[in-house]
Amino acid sequence: MLRIYPVPEEEEAARQGEALDTPLGLAEAYAYPPREAGPYLRANMVGSLDGAARAEGRSAPLSSDADMRVFGVLRALADVILVGAETARHEGYRPAKARAAFAARRAADGQSPAPAIAVISRRLDLDFDAPLFAAPSVPTLLLTGAGAPRAALDRARAAGAEVVIAGEGDGVEPARVVRELAARGHARLLHEGGPRVLAQFAAAGVLDELCLTVSPLLTGGDAPRIMNGPGVTPPARYVPRSVLEEDGFLFTRYVRA
Ligand SMILES: NC(=O)c1ccc[n+]([C@@H]2O[C@H](COP(=O)([O-])OP(=O)(O)OC[C@H]3O[C@@H](n4cnc5c(N)ncnc54)[C@H](OP(=O)(O)O)[C@@H]3O)[C@@H](O)[C@H]2O)c1
């Protein structure tokens, strides 16, 4: 993998490239701010060259080996991974794996061996017998509103999920999600979409960082962009922190200005 921004000094380029090829070296390139600075919400998404957030109904056809390495490292750095219910259903979400390469680092940081998954849902039409809820090493969180269906809430709790009420209506309010997770000790937040939930977090002004993989594929069609919901008004400015490249894929990291 190459760093193409900030442009490294010539003699640094080879050393940095080698470091980026190791999980811990790549982790350095994506370090979260210090915990004392408070909760920090990063999103990681992939889009085609023409802006599609999915191809053939899924994000996998837009991805690459290097994209999966970045995806895995961002997970390994996070306390908790937020995901919309539709993405969890569609992509068959399972508990995140603990990785040996990050075990010591996570333990020293006071993190659980693997990040928890936090599913965002209103209807709670989820398979609570699936491994995501029934067999995680860290309890899966269910983020929903106060008006969520009672019977499904009971099923979720019985399956071992930690229910977090983060909204007054049937849905969650993004700023409250961040507060509720922070209150449970989760400061390093990673949002994996999908487009409908991510748009709400961006519109609410709580998105600190966007890691966007630009896939070198044209898909055409009518797929949504990586955010598909309320607008960010006025548009919010983000500044590039880094751009990495491998195999024609660009791994951009933008932070809120
Ligand atoms: N390109 C990428 O990086 C990327 C990343 C992720 C996903 N994707 C793709 O995106 C597609 C799925 O995304 P999507 O945008 O359709 O769905 P999504 O954002 O993953 O999930 C939408 C669901 O989230 C729940 N929800 C939405 N707003 C809520 C709120 N305020 N409070 C509580 N729950 C709320 C609802 O769940 P209930 O119906 O359960 O109430 C809703 O149906 C898939 O094709 C997936 O492959 C692409």
Share of the chain above pLDDT 90, in %: 93
Whether 11 shows a pLDDT value over 90: the answer reads no
**How is the chain split into domains, by residue range?**
2-256
The pLDDT-based confidence of 88 (bands split at 50, 70, 90) is very high
Cα–Cα distance for residue pair 70/99, rounded to 1 Å: 14
Name the helix (H) or strand (E) containing 121: none
Cα–Cα distance for residue pair 162/138, rounded to 1 Å: 10
Work out the number of other CB atoms within 10 angstroms of the CB of residue 183: 10
Whether 13 shows a pLDDT value over 90: the answer reads no
On whether the CB atoms of residues 80 and 181 are closer than 8 A, the answer is yes
Tell me: domain 2-256, CATH 3.10.180.10, correct?
no
The pLDDT-based confidence of 17 (bands split at 50, 70, 90) is confident
* Average pLDDT for 180-190: 98
How many whole angstroms from 90 Cα to the centroid of ligand 1? 9
How many whole angstroms from 105 Cα to the centroid of ligand 1? 31
CA distances from 215 to 19, 30, 70, 134, 176 (A): 22, 19, 13, 34, 33
Ligand 1 pocket, CB under 6 A? 45-47, 53-54, 57-59, 84-87, 90-91, 120-123, 125, 144, 171-172, 192-197, 200, 226, 228
pTM above 0.85, yes or no: yes
Cα–Cα distance for residue pair 112/137, rounded to 1 Å: 9
How many whole angstroms from 205 Cα to the centroid of ligand 1? 18
**Is 38 exposed, middle or buried, given 0-12, 13-18 or 19+ CB atoms closer than 10 A?**
exposed
Whether 145 shows a pLDDT value over 90: the answer reads yes
Among protein residues, the one with the nearest Cα to ligand 1's atom 43 is: 86
